[in-house]
């Protein structure tokens, strides 16, 4: 069975370094590290294919902008007739400290418009999420500017370490071992702050 790994982000080139685009960054790093096919336009997004730990992975970056990510995900999932548990979304998470990562299945959108769109289009919240911590700016009023702002220069060390660790440990995620995946990433990022 194909696994659909979705990076959530915004497609505009000027937004490429935004905190909100860490999902795109993670999927790009995984695709490069594991020698995926070149990206091509499909399903209102771009896709690349590869094999990790013997599992076929379809990487998807929706080009619909964050708020309509679900349209792209739904098209890809329907084309491959995938069950909901074959889908994993990689996304920014305000409620995790910068550089931390958690994996969970299901749950609410917690104000994340990309997840909200996926919930609506897939008719389920039961897909997997790789929550990539970006930290919280401190007040609700500052959230929008914060997530749509670029990572600061002093954030680059933990960002690169996190993306590398996620890509390196991706085989554990592909094999359906989320706890081992989390442990591996945590071990490889613990010294970076």
Q: Which residues are catalytic?
A: 20
Phi, psi of 155 (to 5 degrees): -90, -15
Collapsed DSSP state (helix, strand, coil) of residue 87 = strand
Residue 137 and residue 94: Cα distance in Å, rounded?
A: 8
In DSSP terms, 58 is beta-bridged to 4, 49
Distance, in Å, from the CA atom of 122 to the CA atom of 124, rounded to the nearest integer, reads 5
> Which token pair is 110?
């917690």
């Amino acid at each position: 069975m194909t696994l659909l790994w979705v990076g959530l982000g915004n497609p505009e080139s000027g937004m490429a370094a935004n905190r909100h685009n860490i999902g795109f960054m993670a999927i790009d790093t995984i695709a490069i590290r594991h020698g995926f096919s070149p990206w091509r336009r499909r399903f209102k997004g771009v896709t690349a294919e590869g094999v990790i730990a013997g599992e076929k992975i379809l990487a998807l970056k929706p080009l619909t902008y964050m708020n309509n990510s679900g349209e792209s995900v739904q098209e890809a999932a329907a084309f491959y007739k995938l069950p909901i548990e074959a889908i994993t979304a990689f996304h920014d998470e305000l409620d995790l400290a910068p550089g931390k990562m958690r994996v969970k299945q299901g749950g609410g959108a917690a104000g994340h418009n990309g997840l909200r769109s996926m919930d609506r289009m897939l008719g389920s919240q039961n897909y997997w999420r790789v929550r990539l911590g970006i930290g919280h700016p401190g007040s609700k009023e500052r959230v929008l500017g914060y997530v749509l702002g670029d990572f600061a220069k002093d954030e680059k060390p933990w960002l690169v370490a996190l993306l590398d660790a996620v890509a390196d440990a991706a085989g554990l995620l592909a094999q359906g071992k989320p706890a081992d995946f989390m442990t591996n990433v945590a071990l490889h990022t613990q010294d970076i702050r």
